Chains A and B, each alone.
Chain A
Amino acid sequence: MALVEVENMWFHYPRARLGAGVEGWTLQDISVQVQAQSTLGIVGESGSGKSTLIRVMCGLLRHQRGVVRFDGRDIAGLSGRDAVDRRQRNQMVFQNPRRSLDPRMTIRRSLSEPVRALLDRSPDDTEMTGWLERVGLGPDVLPRFPHQLSGGQLQRIGIARSLSVNPTILYADEPVSALDVSVQAQVLNLLMDLREQLGLTLVMVSHDLGVVSRMCAEIVVMRHGAVIESGPTEVVLGAPATDYTRALLHAARAASLEREGAEG
């Protein structure tokens, strides 16, 4: 049984103008499965619905049609202890750490929020130091505010915050696209290391095919709110079945050649 099963799921944002067909729906008839301890990459152009999809899977947005199951249970039907449990096991790392950490809260407070909210206790500094060590930071960041730290440091704190409640599955929404190129690789390596150490399932959204092919065993290609191709990464990227995927690959190669050209 897959850890997350999305079956014929449809989603639209509030105030969408719904027509008889697919117009107005941000996600249309999505079916995706995520196996426990696997790595899934979701790729597609801007506006293809990839960020919306992981928000629905993570439970931050509620779909209108179809079923999303986590660990075999429909997430729409969960309540009380079960709902809290699901929240705890599904955690998200956001794209821009400057927007995902409250600028008016100290790192100590932001970092302890999930444990306070979900487990109803306040962690002490020793415990939080342990979380920070996992992501390569020292306890000296605890009394600081977000504006006193770098983007790379903040994203590490974002990751530490997600991991503080021992999730089963980690969703990452373009986790490095808001960071300097020089720290992107470090944060990605950190995510990979932590995934292996903790046996996490990782679902990552990215528009960077290079990153996805390095980090993810499986891949889903999205366009206009629908899944147009999915399967093992080497199969999908090695022999694309659709022109769209070929175009994405082509654009990615051109971009990487450009980078090499600029460096050389």
Chain B
Amino acid sequence: MPETAPRGSATNAAAEVRRDSRWRRLRRLPITLYLGGLLVFLFVFVALLSFVWTPYPPNHLNLRNRLAGPGTPGFLLGTDRAGRDVVTELMLGARNSLYVSVVSTVVAMVLGSAIGLAIAGSHRVAQGPLTRLVDAGLALPGILIALVLAAKLGAGNTTATLAIIAWQVPVAARVTIGPARQVLALDFVEAAYGYGRRKPYVMVRHVLPNISPLLIVLGSVMFAAAILIEAALAFLGVGVQPPTSSWGRFLNETQSLLEAAPYLMFFPGLAIVLTALGFNLLGDGLRTVLDPQQARSGLA
């Protein structure tokens, strides 16, 4: 039979070809993936580094060097009005950003995709109304949710985290429903039901792995959004409170000095932009790499 799989030495040759093409695939990876990966790595590295080392201790006031410009010896990016080192503040701000965005993204992804899967697998009569309910959740503006929560719970990291979760759960759910339903319509799902598998098994073993590329991309984009919202909430004073450092609050505290010391707003703004950009680029790169069509032609 001519189409029977090759054996023996032919298998070794095939394995070699596969290794070779894997190396070529690595070099063909999109530049966005490398750039995004680098920015995200830097962000996480700086945030983790702040636990063991910062140029100055947190909230250390250099009263003799207040409002020092960037490049002042000992203060690479200068100091703020109270004489706090900007590099130290930015490193601590990265830590807070990372904390809030990790917690909110992980919780929102798990909750949201679980809800999405449940709706996709629900009875067809319930599916329409449930999907519209998620759409209604999507329509709620995130900032509004945060302000309501802040009025109820008081400002702080918990409020910011909860607000981001409440805002992103419908997003994750809505994005999951369609692709999950597409997978459920495929023959291997029918086959699985045919040999007696139940819905939860099909959801976890068949649907979830098949939509996982989408969820990975969604996760990285949601991460970027979470960092932006955390900064926005902190800027509005709804997020984390002093003395914990945050990029958004740093922006807020220094806006009155826009003319006297513009660099004080420039650096935290740049940090926010680069981090959000990093996660977006990473998501974009992952989308290209994990696209099933591309993966198939790349490996075949």
CB nearest neighbor in B for A164: B195
Residues in B neighbouring A110, C-beta threshold 8 A: 188
> Which A88-111 residues sit within 8 Å CB-CB of chain B?
88, 91-92, 94-96, 99-105, 110
**Would you call A147 and B194 a contact (CB within 8 A)?**
no
**Would you call A60 and B193 a contact (CB within 8 A)?**
yes
**Would you call B187 and A100 a contact (CB within 8 A)?**
yes
Is A87 positioned at the interface, with any CB of B under 8 Å from its CB?
yes
| A59-B194, A183-B3 known; A104+B11 contact, CB < 8 A | no
Instruction: Tell me the bound Cα distance from A255 to B197 in angstroms.
Output: 41
Residues in B neighbouring A105, C-beta threshold 8 A: 205-206, 209
Residues in A neighbouring B194, C-beta threshold 8 A: 58-60, 87, 91-92
CB nearest neighbor in A for B4: A136
Distance (whole angstroms) from the CB of A167 to the closest CB of chain B: 10
| A147-B300, A150-B3 known; A102+B206 contact, CB < 8 A | yes
Is B27 positioned at the interface, with any CB of A under 8 Å from its CB?
no
Which of B138-146, B231-239, B277-285, B291-299 contacts the other chain? Answer: B291-299
Residues in A neighbouring B11, C-beta threshold 8 A: 140
Question: Quick one: CB contact mask for B175-209 with A, threshold 8 Å, 1 for yes?
Answer: 00000000000111011111111000000011001
CB nearest neighbor in A for B212: A104
Indicate which residue in B188, B190, B196, B292 contacts A118 across the interface (CB closer than 8 Å).
B196
Residues in A neighbouring B124, C-beta threshold 8 A: 14-15
**Would you call A103 and B190 a contact (CB within 8 A)?**
no
**Would you call A104 and B209 a contact (CB within 8 A)?**
yes
**Would you call B210 and A87 a contact (CB within 8 A)?**
no
Is B153 positioned at the interface, with any CB of A under 8 Å from its CB?
no
Residues in B neighbouring A60, C-beta threshold 8 A: 190, 193-194
| A104-B210, A165-B195 known; A99+B186 contact, CB < 8 A | yes
Residues in B neighbouring A188, C-beta threshold 8 A: none
**Would you call A137 and B292 a contact (CB within 8 A)?**
no
> Which B1-28 residues sit within 8 Å CB-CB of chain A?
1, 3-7, 11
Distance (whole angstroms) from the CB of B68 to the closest CB of chain A: 56
| A149-B5, A183-B3 known; A101+B299 contact, CB < 8 A | no
Chain B contact residues: helix, strand, loop or mixed:
helix
- Chain A residues touching B, range: 35 or more
**Would you call B195 and A102 a contact (CB within 8 A)?**
no
Distance (whole angstroms) from the CB of B280 to the closest CB of chain A: 26
Is A114 positioned at the interface, with any CB of B under 8 Å from its CB?
yes
| A60-B190, A147-B295, A148-B300 known; A140+B7 contact, CB < 8 A | yes
Instruction: Tell me the bound Cα distance from A103 to B212 in angstroms.
Output: 12
**Would you call B192 and A113 a contact (CB within 8 A)?**
yes
CB nearest neighbor in A for B191: A100
Residues in B neighbouring A152, C-beta threshold 8 A: 3
The residue in B5, B192, B196, B300 that gathers the most chain A C-beta atoms within 10 A of its C-beta is: B5
**Would you call A153 and B187 a contact (CB within 8 A)?**
no
The residue in B191, B192, B210, B292 that gathers the most chain A C-beta atoms within 10 A of its C-beta is: B191
**Would you call A99 and B188 a contact (CB within 8 A)?**
yes
Instruction: Tell me the bound Cα distance from A150 to B209 in angstroms.
Output: 22
CB nearest neighbor in A for B210: A104
The residue in B1, B206, B300 that gathers the most chain A C-beta atoms within 10 A of its C-beta is: B1
Instruction: Tell me the bound Cα distance from A117 to B191 in angstroms.
Output: 11
| A87-B195, A117-B197 known; A186+B188 contact, CB < 8 A | no
Distance (whole angstroms) from the CB of A212 to the closest CB of chain B: 22
Residues in A neighbouring B212, C-beta threshold 8 A: 104
The residue in A104, A113, A152 that gathers the most chain B C-beta atoms within 10 A of its C-beta is: A104
Is A138 positioned at the interface, with any CB of B under 8 Å from its CB?
yes
Residues in B neighbouring A183, C-beta threshold 8 A: 3
**Would you call B188 and A102 a contact (CB within 8 A)?**
yes
Is A252 positioned at the interface, with any CB of B under 8 Å from its CB?
no
Indicate which residue in B7, B188, B206 contacts A138 across the interface (CB closer than 8 Å).
B7
Distance (whole angstroms) from the CB of B151 to the closest CB of chain A: 45
CB nearest neighbor in B for A92: B194
Indicate which residue in B1, B5, B186, B206 contacts A141 across the interface (CB closer than 8 Å).
B5
Indicate which residue in A14, A99, A140, A186 contacts B187 across the interface (CB closer than 8 Å).
A99
| A94-B187, A137-B4, A140-B11 known; A118+B210 contact, CB < 8 A | no
Is A84 positioned at the interface, with any CB of B under 8 Å from its CB?
yes
Instruction: Tell me the bound Cα distance from A117 to B296 in angstroms.
Output: 29
Distance (whole angstroms) from the CB of A28 to the closest CB of chain B: 23
Q: Provide a sorted-by-A list of 5 A–B residue pairs whose CB atoms are within 8 angstroms.
A: A102-B209, A114-B195, A137-B5, A138-B4, A140-B5
Given contacts A147-B296, A186-B3, 10 further A-B contacts (CB under 8 A): A14-B124, A60-B194, A96-B187, A100-B190, A102-B188, A103-B292, A110-B188, A117-B192, A137-B4, A140-B6
Binding site for A on B (CB under 8 A): 1, 3-7, 11, 124, 186-188, 190-197, 205-206, 209-210, 212, 292, 295-296, 299-300
Identify the 7 closest CB pairs spanning chains A and B, nearest first. Answer: A104-B209, A100-B187, A99-B187, A114-B195, A102-B188, A117-B195, A147-B296
